[in-house]
């Protein structure tokens, strides 16, 4: 007979408390449930192991006996003995009336035999725990399905920064229906839009789960987003930077003109209040736009232009020498 490591099956430590065991069981049961993996025999077997491990580790009496067996089994292995020589008979329990069937705690709440066409718990469980009384789940030979909420579904969706700025919609196909889902202004990457009742169906009269659209905002060629603020780089010619003037700044709601004071240094950042992204919770509130100037040096100068720049350089040098 093969020893089953129930702690390893649930992925918990041997000192895990009841809360940790229950949490691990629920997570794994959802992943491996036959309704989620139709036709997957490996998932069915995994689901049976998970249910069996939970049945033992969530029952103090069964867990106590299992831990004693585990200690003895580990000692036998550490001594380097052949596993086939281990004396299982001292751990065998009397067969429990009713064949050892139990109903599962997740899914359609039918018993394991109905779910998988026979088999119930493993030979290991039947031999060790078969005479320890009915499971705490209270199976009495009839289905006692309790209403359970359906599974939540998550669908990833990509939107542009412009769509995040104005808000947008996405069409989702579900059960032959087309759902038009609104994504509000100000949505960010990892924002989730909830559509109530469009997830998995409820079990035994339970409510349906929800559908979530998980948003990813695509990178933009001009703007970098930081929270509700936007940052961009604005080119300005050297003449405007020196003499002052205006420069066109792009925003998601249209270009605006920014006044540049004389003798503005390259790299200076200007704050345009309220020209950033709308706040997700309060779309009337806007972040700011930060425009960083990048001074452009003129290229392909004519001979006359070069002479003027040399004259300007000479004037600046004379001025510095007189100081």
What is the CATH topology of the domain spanning 224-317? HSP40/DNAj peptide-binding domain (2.60.260)
| CA–CA separation, 21 and 256 (whole Å) | 60
| CA–CA separation, 212 and 192 (whole Å) | 6
Is it true that domain 6-129 has CATH number 1.10.287.110? yes
Pairing of β 153-159 and β 211-217: parallel
40-56 per-position pLDDT tens digit: 888 888 888 998 899 88
Question: What backbone phi and psi angles, to 5 degrees, belong to 275?
Answer: -105, 15
Q: Do 246 and 260 form a contact (C-beta atoms < 8 A)? A: yes
Residue 69's pLDDT band (cuts 50, 70, 90): confident
Instruction: Tell me: pLDDT of 308 over 80.
Output: yes
153-217, superfamily in CATH? Urease metallochaperone UreE, N-terminal domain (2.60.260.20)
Instruction: Tell me: pLDDT of 241 over 50.
Output: yes
Q: Which of 234-238, 240-244, 306-310 has the lowest mean pLDDT?
A: 306-310
Q: Give the DSSP letter of residue 246.
A: E
CA dihedral 281, 283, 285, 289 (to 10 degrees): 110
Sign of CA dihedral 80, 83, 86, 92: positive
Q: Which of 2-11, 69-78, 160-169 has the lowest mean pLDDT?
A: 69-78
CATH 2.60.260.20 location in the chain: 153-217, 224-317
74-90 per-position pLDDT tens digit: 776 677 666 555 666 55
Higher pLDDT, 271 or 311: 271
What percent of the chain clears pLDDT 70, i.e. is strictly above it? 78
Cβ-based neighbour number of residue 294 at 10 Å:
12
Q: What is the mean pLDDT of the chain?
A: 81
Predicted pLDDT of residue 108: 32
Residue 222's pLDDT band (cuts 50, 70, 90): very high
Question: What backbone phi and psi angles, to 5 degrees, belong to 133?
Answer: 95, 170
Go through the chain and tell me how many residues it has: 323
Question: What backbone phi and psi angles, to 5 degrees, belong to 138?
Answer: 80, 30
| CA–CA separation, 19 and 41 (whole Å) | 29
| CA–CA separation, 293 and 231 (whole Å) | 11
Is 4 exposed, middle or buried (CB count within 10 Å of its CB: 0-12, 13-18, 19+)?
Answer: buried
Instruction: Tell me: pLDDT of 175 over 80.
Output: no
Tokens linked to 242: 């020196």
| CA–CA separation, 213 and 156 (whole Å) | 6
Sign of CA dihedral 169, 173, 175, 176: positive
- Residue 172's contacts (CB-CB under 8 Å, 6 or more residues apart) are 155, 178, 179, 181, 211, 213
CATH 1.10.287.110 location in the chain: 6-129
115-173 per-position pLDDT tens digit: 333 345 777 777 777 655 444 443 333 344 577 788 888 889 999 999 999 999 999 88
Predicted pLDDT of residue 321: 66
Question: What backbone phi and psi angles, to 5 degrees, belong to 154?
Answer: -125, 130
In terms of phi and psi (left: phi > 0; alpha: psi -120 to 50; beta: otherwise), the region of 66 is: alpha
Predicted pLDDT of residue 120: 58
| CA–CA separation, 68 and 256 (whole Å) | 77
Q: Give the DSSP letter of residue 199.
A: S
Instruction: Tell me: pLDDT of 91 over 70.
Output: no
Predicted pLDDT of residue 11: 94
């Amino acid at each position: 007979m093969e020893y089953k490591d129930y702690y390893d099956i649930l992925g918990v430590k041997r000192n895990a408390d009841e809360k940790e065991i229950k949490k691990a069981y629920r997570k794994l049961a959802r992943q491996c449930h036959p309704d989620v993996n139709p036709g997957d025999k490996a998932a069915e077997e995994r689901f049976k192991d998970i249910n069996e491990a939970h049945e033992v580790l969530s029952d103090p009496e069964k867990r106590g006996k299992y831990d004693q067996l585990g200690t003895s089994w580990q000692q036998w292995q550490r001594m380097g003995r052949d596993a086939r020589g281990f004396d299982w008979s001292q751990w065998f329990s009397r067969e429990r009336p009713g064949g050892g069937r139990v109903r599962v705690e997740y899914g359609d709440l039918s018993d394991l035999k109905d779910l998988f066409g026979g088999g119930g718990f493993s030979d290991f469980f039947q031999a060790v725990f078969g005479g320890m009384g009915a499971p705490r789940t209270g199976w009495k030979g009839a289905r006692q399905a309790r209403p359970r909420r359906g599974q939540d579904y998550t669908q990833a969706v990509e939107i542009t920064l412009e769509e995040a700025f104005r808000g947008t919609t996405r069409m989702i196909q579900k059960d032959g229906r087309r759902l038009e889902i609104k994504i509000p202004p100000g949505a960010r990457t990892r924002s989730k839009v909830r559509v109530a009742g469009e997830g998995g169906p409820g079990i035994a009269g339970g409510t349906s789960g929800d559908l979530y659209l998980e948003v990813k905002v695509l990178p933009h060629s001009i703007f970098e987003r930081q929270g509700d603020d936007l940052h961009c780089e604005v080119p300005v010619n050297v003449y405007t930077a020196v003499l002052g003037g205006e420069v066109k700044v792009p925003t998601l709601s249209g270009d605006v003109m920014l006044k540049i004071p004389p003798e503005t240094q390259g790299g200076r950042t200007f704050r345009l209040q309220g020209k950033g992204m709308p706040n997700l919770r309060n779309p009337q509130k806007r972040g700011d736009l930060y425009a960083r100037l990048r001074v452009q040096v003129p290229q392909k100068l004519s001979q006359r232009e070069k002479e003027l720049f040399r004259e300007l350089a000479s004037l600046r040098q004379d001025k510095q020498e007189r100081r």
